[in-house]
């Protein structure tokens, strides 16, 4: 198990070194590194956050093909960006402090998850499946609202809006990178302390309760952590829908264990490695013509279909 984690860590380190130093010109090394280092930090943070959130979310829902995107956070992010462009315009948004827009998006997404969905969870008496149904419905509502505004928005504004709706590491806002790091690392470190409880939770609700786990409190705590991780990572780089389902299932196949400390480490390393090498492809092979989210979503979508077909055969 540890050898596999070390191998994944080595692959990630090699990818980071290639990303930082490949094609580096000594005359412009300082400028190039000043652009590449924030990208690497954002890639590792985002990859780890999405992997952690997706894996623990699957444990809570007892379903290996669900990801936090069913809560509607991706759709809410798109709706927020669309409303901002529609109301104030891209020119005013460009002049505004990037930290204000970032904090505004994060607060709205976390507030939606913790406030509205948490309230609904209490009303349905902890039924996680009704919560997921509500998340899917609200996600559809936000997508419909976004589509309506995008139809009537100015075409030039729409083109600018489209650029912010795809996940991209090309123009990382360094003003919010430090704040994002604090939020993401803090949430993941706190979540890591619950790995043993998650091992018990993976046995199922009834078994977990019989073994002394306070199921309701643990589920609510995990949902808050998931909301923070997905909200911050999405506000930082944009939505990457299928990355979570791809890396979590690859981690389960590779690690073949129930222990979350190994599953989480594997998923976070696989996710970060996939994003590092994916960004290398975007920059070196596709010459920035294709966003990394398109590559990840294409591969993840194919893998999702494979999982559905395999589940039907079991």
pLDDT value, residue 312: 61
pLDDT score for 133: 78
List helix spans (H) across the chain.
Answer: 2-21, 29-61, 73-95, 98-111, 118-123, 128-152, 155-164, 174-192, 195-201, 205-210, 215-237, 243-255, 260-280, 292-313
Torsion of CA 23, 26, 28, 32, to 10 degrees: 50
Locate 58 and state its tokens.
């699957």
- What tens digit of pLDDT does each residue of 64-77 get? 777 787 777 788 88
Q: Does domain 2-18+38-313 have CATH number 1.20.120.1200?
A: no
Question: Would you kindly state where each structural domain of the chain is located, as residue ranges?
Answer: 2-18+38-313
Among residues 251, 280, 239, which one has the least CA distance to residue 139? 239
pLDDT in tens, 152-185: 888 888 877 776 677 677 767 777 888 889 999 9
Q: What is the pLDDT confidence band of residue 117, given thresholds at 50, 70 and 90?
A: low
Query: Using alpha carbons only, what angle is made at residue 210 by residues 207 and 216, rounded to the nearest 5 degrees?
Result: 80
Given this model, what pLDDT does residue 313 score? 60
Instruction: Please state, as a whole number, how many other Cβ atoms lie within 10 Å of the Cβ of residue 152.
Output: 8
Q: What's this model's pTM, rounded to 2 decimal places?
A: 0.86
Q: What's the pLDDT at 121?
A: 62
**289/276 Cα distance (integer angstroms):** 17
Distance CA 181, CA 189 (A): 12
Q: pLDDT band at residue 294, thresholds of 50, 70 and 90?
A: confident
| Sign of the CA dihedral running 171, 143, 67, 183 | positive
Of residues 312 and 261, the one with the higher pLDDT is 261
């Amino acid at each position: 198990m540890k050898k596999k984690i070390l191998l994944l860590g080595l692959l990630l380190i090699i990818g980071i070194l290639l990303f930082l130093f490949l094609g580096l010109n000594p005359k412009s090394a300082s400028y190039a590194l000043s652009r590449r280092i924030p990208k690497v930090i954002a890639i590792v943070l985002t990859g780890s956050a999405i992997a952690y959130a997706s894996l623990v979310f699957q444990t809570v829902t007892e379903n290996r093909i669900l990801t936090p995107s069913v809560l509607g956070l991706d759709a809410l992010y798109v709706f927020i960006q669309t409303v901002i462009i529609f109301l104030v315009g891209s020119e005013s948004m460009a002049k505004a402090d990037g930290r204000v827009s970032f904090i505004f998006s994060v607060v709205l997404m976390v507030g939606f998850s913790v406030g509205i969905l948490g309230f609904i969870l209490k009303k349905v008496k902890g039924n996680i499946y009704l919560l997921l149904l509500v998340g899917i419905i609200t996600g559809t509502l936000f997508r419909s609202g976004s589509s309506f505004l995008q139809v009537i928005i100015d075409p030039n504004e729409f083109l600018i809006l489209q650029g912010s709706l795809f996940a991209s590491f090309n123009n990382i806002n360094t003003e919010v990178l430090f704040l994002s790091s604090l939020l993401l690392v803090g949430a993941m470190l706190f979540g890591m302390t619950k790995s043993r409880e998650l091992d018990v939770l993976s046995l199922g609700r009834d078994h977990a309760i019989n073994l002394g786990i306070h199921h309701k409190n643990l589920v609510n705590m995990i949902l808050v952590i998931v909301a923070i991780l997905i909200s911050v990572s999405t506000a930082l780089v944009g939505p990457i829908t299928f990355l979570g389902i791809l890396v979590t299932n690859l981690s389960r196949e590779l690690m073949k264990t129930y222990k979350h400390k190994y599953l989480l480490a594997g998923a976070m390393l696989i996710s970060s490695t996939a994003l590092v090498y994916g960004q290398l492809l975007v920059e070196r092979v596709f010459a920035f013509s294709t966003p990394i989210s398109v590559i990840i979503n294409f591969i993840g979508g194919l893998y999702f279909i494979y999982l559905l077909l395999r589940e039907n055969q079991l």
